[in-house]
Chains A and B, each alone.
Chain A
Amino acid sequence: MASIFPVVARELAPCEMSQASCNATFKGIGILFLTLALTLSMAFPTTRKAAAESPPKRAIILATTTSTQDSGLLDALIPIFQRKTGYVVKAIAVGTGEALAIGKRGEADVLLVHAPEAEEEFMAQGHGLHRKAVMHNNFVIVGPFDDPAKIKGMASAAEALKKLAQARMTFVSRGDGSGTHKVEQSLWKKAGIDPKGNWYLEAGQGMGEVLRITAQKRGYALTDRGTYLALRKGINLTILVEGDPALQNFYSVILVNPSKHTRVNRVGAQAFADFLVSVEAQALIKAFGVKEYGQPLFYPDAIK
């Protein structure tokens, strides 16, 4: 059988092209595969080494909010924690609603979230082991510089929202069940308004995207101060309402209850939570962003 093979090939190859160019194609494919295989094998030892250094239990899954990632805080804190402890932190940045849902299923070990009411419910249902305050910042209402609704300087955020609704000013909501969205909803409730209509846009996206949409639409939005400060350069929005106690934004760390889900890395989660409330991390949080924005983006709460 094998002896027939070259005969067959020679018989048929000329039907389209010369044998030489045909072989060249295959040599080319061979070289390509070889290069690809080499790149892959060159690169994979590093991942394998990392995996060897960090057996499964050395990895911690942190479910957190987009604001901690988009502001760059996580990138400042996590490498320090990893160097100190040897754990590998897999930080998944989602909205607070999704982070809590992930925690409920035991898909994460530790949560860093900001929705006190939802967190209390989470704890009451026994999904969390411990909850500790880490830091806070505050929300602000931003809008265009000329402020057509004239809400600038209002003391009550709920009153300001009411005025926006009455004037049917474009308002861009996160609309994604995030911590920011939950605060916004409670403010509407306080204002006695059920926001509906074509002036009320539910973006369903992260804070950064929402600010960009708001700027493009010349509308208003509720945002955490940190994300606004981080993005301020690129968008044409200014802070109009701030300082209302209802606009406080508290971040807590929650250990996921391992008794409900056996695969939760309790020890690693504890180590990360301890790190977040340590003197070192709290000092880092306090100093974070000061150089770039002239004010802190987050205020530490664990150590006064």
Chain B
Amino acid sequence: MDLIWEGIRQAFWLILQGDSEVLRITLLSLQVSGSAVLISLFLGIPLGTYLALARFPGRNLAVSLVNTGMGLPPVVVGLFVTLLLWRNGPLGILDLLFTPIAMIIAQVIIAAPIVTGLTIAAIQQLNPQLRLQLLALGASRLQLFWLLIREARLPLLAAIMAGFGGVISEVGAVMMVGGNIKGQTRVLTTATVLESRMGHFDLAIALGVILLLLSFVVNWALTWIQQQGRPR
């Protein structure tokens, strides 16, 4: 129990001091996971909307695949991305393995299905009459898409939170494709693993607390935005 208090104390001390190593690790975590979520939104929201509205044979299969993808184990994603990015692998020429870009790629693969799956659910729970009404009023496809997104913004913000939560806390994929290299690809989760492996439990707890704080701040901001739009 002492160890936990010591860790929490140290976390605040590290934040107050502005420890440059911890700051760099925290910033990299935010960059990698933030970029991954942004990219996932651009992929997942259009795809999810399409799957929610389209009627084509095999649609149920596609939706099932997306829903399965929501639970992709990060280590499996990490393994596949590593194999693809290996020097002698199919994408080896890009020299991306053990770089932040590789970590973003892996996290997009983890977050995109989450965003897509929750988008499907969000769009489908809208009243189907709404779509008919919009079309009757002469909305173009793009306008229809935009207005439906607008209507579903509350659950869509939840999709962003779920996607972000999925990748910021993930350790398996970033460890494999990033390599946990000091000053280059070390993020909060991999640093926590390393510190606890080295027996620095207080520091490991401190990093964990910082991760939780970061997650809280981001989710608080998203929730604030979400609740601004709450029907009164």
The answer to whether B151 has its CB under 8 Å from any CB of chain A is yes
Contacting residues, chain B, for A70 (C-beta < 8 A) = 194, 197-198
Contacting residues, chain A, for B67 (C-beta < 8 A) = none
What is the CB-to-nearest-CB distance from A176 to chain B, in angstroms, rounded to a whole number? 13
What is the CB-to-nearest-CB distance from B4 to chain A, in angstroms, rounded to a whole number? 14
Asked if A12 and B88 make an inter-chain contact with CB atoms under 8 angstroms apart, the answer reads no
Known: A12-B147, A70-B198, A230-B199. A25 touches B31 (CB 8 A): no
The answer to whether B34 has its CB under 8 Å from any CB of chain A is yes
Contacting residues, chain B, for A78 (C-beta < 8 A) = 182
How would residues 128 to 139 of chain A score, 1 for a CB under 8 Å from any chain B CB and 0 otherwise? 000000000000
**How many A-B residue pairs lie within 8 Å, measured between CB atoms?**
123
Select the stretch in A16-24, A112-120, A186-194, A240-248 that faces chain B.
A16-24
What is the CB-to-nearest-CB distance from A21 to chain B, in angstroms, rounded to a whole number? 6
A8's closest neighbor in chain B, by CB? B137
Residue in contact with A107 in the complex, picked from B88, B130, B139, B201, CB distance below 8 Å: B88
A22's closest neighbor in chain B, by CB? B229
Known: A12-B133, A39-B34, A261-B88. A91 touches B232 (CB 8 A): no
Select the stretch in A40-48, A142-150, A216-224 that faces chain B.
A40-48
Asked if B88 and A17 make an inter-chain contact with CB atoms under 8 angstroms apart, the answer reads no
Known: A28-B224, A61-B98. A8 touches B139 (CB 8 A): yes
Asked if B38 and A7 make an inter-chain contact with CB atoms under 8 angstroms apart, the answer reads no
Contacting residues, chain A, for B198 (C-beta < 8 A) = 70, 72, 208, 230-231
Asked if B38 and A36 make an inter-chain contact with CB atoms under 8 angstroms apart, the answer reads yes
Residue in contact with B143 in the complex, picked from A8, A24, A50, A61, CB distance below 8 Å: A8
Asked if A36 and B34 make an inter-chain contact with CB atoms under 8 angstroms apart, the answer reads yes
The answer to whether B17 has its CB under 8 Å from any CB of chain A is no
The answer to whether B87 has its CB under 8 Å from any CB of chain A is yes
Interface size class of A (residues with CB under 8 A): 35 or more
Tell me which of A16, A25, A39, A235 has the highest count of chain B C-beta atoms within 10 A of its own C-beta: A25
Complex: A143 Cα to B172 Cα, angstroms:
31
Known: A70-B198, A90-B179. A1 touches B140 (CB 8 A): yes
Tell me which of B38, B100, B130, B225 has the highest count of chain A C-beta atoms within 10 A of its own C-beta: B225
Residue in contact with B150 in the complex, picked from A7, A22, A66, A235, CB distance below 8 Å: A22
Residue in contact with B134 in the complex, picked from A8, A29, A105, A234, CB distance below 8 Å: A8
Kindly identify, within residues 20 to 40 of chain B, every residue whose CB is under 8 Å from any CB belonging to chain A.
Answer: 27-28, 30-31, 34-35, 38
Kindly identify, within residues 205 to 232 of chain B, every residue whose CB is under 8 Å from any CB belonging to chain A.
Answer: 221-222, 224-226, 228-232
Known: A17-B231, A233-B199. A40 touches B35 (CB 8 A): yes
What is the CB-to-nearest-CB distance from B125 to chain A, in angstroms, rounded to a whole number? 12
The answer to whether A88 has its CB under 8 Å from any CB of chain B is yes
The answer to whether B6 has its CB under 8 Å from any CB of chain A is no
Residue in contact with B31 in the complex, picked from A1, A40, A92, A209, CB distance below 8 Å: A40
Asked if B139 and A92 make an inter-chain contact with CB atoms under 8 angstroms apart, the answer reads no
Asked if B95 and A56 make an inter-chain contact with CB atoms under 8 angstroms apart, the answer reads yes
Complex: A16 Cα to B98 Cα, angstroms:
47
Kindly identify, within residues 64 to 106 of chain B, every residue whose CB is under 8 Å from any CB belonging to chain A.
Answer: 86-88, 92, 95, 97-98, 100
Known: A12-B133, A16-B151. A5 touches B143 (CB 8 A): yes
Kindly identify, within residues 150 to 166 of chain B, every residue whose CB is under 8 Å from any CB belonging to chain A.
Answer: 150-151, 153, 157
Contacting residues, chain A, for B231 (C-beta < 8 A) = 16-17
Asked if B199 and A28 make an inter-chain contact with CB atoms under 8 angstroms apart, the answer reads no
8 cross-chain CB contacts under 8 A:
A8-B143, A12-B133, A22-B229, A43-B31, A70-B198, A105-B88, A231-B199, A233-B199
User: Which positions in B face A, CB cutoff 8 Å?
Assistant: 27-28, 30-31, 34-35, 38, 86-88, 92, 95, 97-98, 100, 130, 133-134, 137-140, 143, 147, 150-151, 153, 157, 179-182, 184, 194, 196-199, 201, 221-222, 224-226, 228-232
10 closest A-B pairs by CB: A25-B229, A28-B225, A231-B199, A208-B197, A17-B231, A24-B228, A234-B199, A92-B179, A263-B87, A90-B98
